[in-house]
């Protein structure tokens, strides 16, 4: 568990924001951005093994064509847009809980990787990005000699 330094003046505003968010969630509303749109932040997992990183992001309802994956300076960025249905004739919306809009998630990778060997697969609303490490970044086992 990480220790966090207490900053009383900054924390006063953070506590108020947390209380406001709690009441919004209790009332069934989702937090909004400054433009009045809900924030869309797909859930993601980042897993590391000795050879590569695997980033898995849940992107339900998003088409493959609306997803962009890029890497620059060891920062992986997943961005895209979940578009609202355009056909509204003859429909009356009584409740809208699904989130729509643009999103962007960035992940800083702790070691250097092969940007030209990255593989991204998208199936059933789940994006899997496999990012191979460069040879120098892989752990090396050192033999211990007996004297």
pLDDT of 41-52, one tens digit each? 889 999 999 889
- Please state the domain extents for the chain: 8-34, 40-84+100-138
Q: Cα torsion for 88, 59, 103, 25, to the nearest 10°?
A: 80
Q: Looking at the DSSP assignment, which residues form a beta bridge with residue 129?
A: 55, 120
Tokens 């919306």 label which residue?
93
Instruction: Provide the pLDDT confidence category of residue 39 given band limits of 50, 70 and 90.
Output: low
Does the pLDDT at position 140 exceed 70? Answer: yes
Q: Is 73 helix (H, G, I), strand (E, B) or coil?
A: coil
The CATH topology of domain 40-84+100-138 is Immunoglobulin-like (2.60.40)
| Predicted TM-score of the model (pTM) | 0.65
| Contact between residue 53 and residue 70 where contact means Cβ atoms under 8 Å apart | no
Backbone angles phi, psi at 24, to 5 degrees: -65, -45
């Amino acid at each position: 568990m990480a220790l966090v330094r207490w900053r009383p003046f900054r924390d006063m505003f953070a506590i108020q924001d947390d209380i406001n968010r709690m009441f919004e969630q209790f009332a069934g509303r989702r937090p909004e951005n400054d433009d009045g749109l809900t924030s869309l932040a797909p859930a993601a997992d980042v897993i590391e093994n000795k050879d590569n990183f695997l980033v898995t992001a849940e992107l339900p309802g998003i088409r493959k064509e609306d997803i962009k994956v890029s890497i620059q300076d060891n920062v992986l960025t997943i961005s895209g847009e979940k578009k609202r249905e355009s056909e509204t004739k003859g429909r009356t919306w009584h409740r809208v809980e699904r989130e729509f809009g643009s999103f962007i998630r960035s992940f800083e990778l702790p070691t250097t990787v092969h940007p030209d060997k990255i593989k991204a697969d998208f199936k059933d609303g789940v994006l899997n990005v496999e990012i191979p490490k460069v040879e120098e970044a892989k752990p090396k086992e050192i033999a211990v000699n007996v004297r």
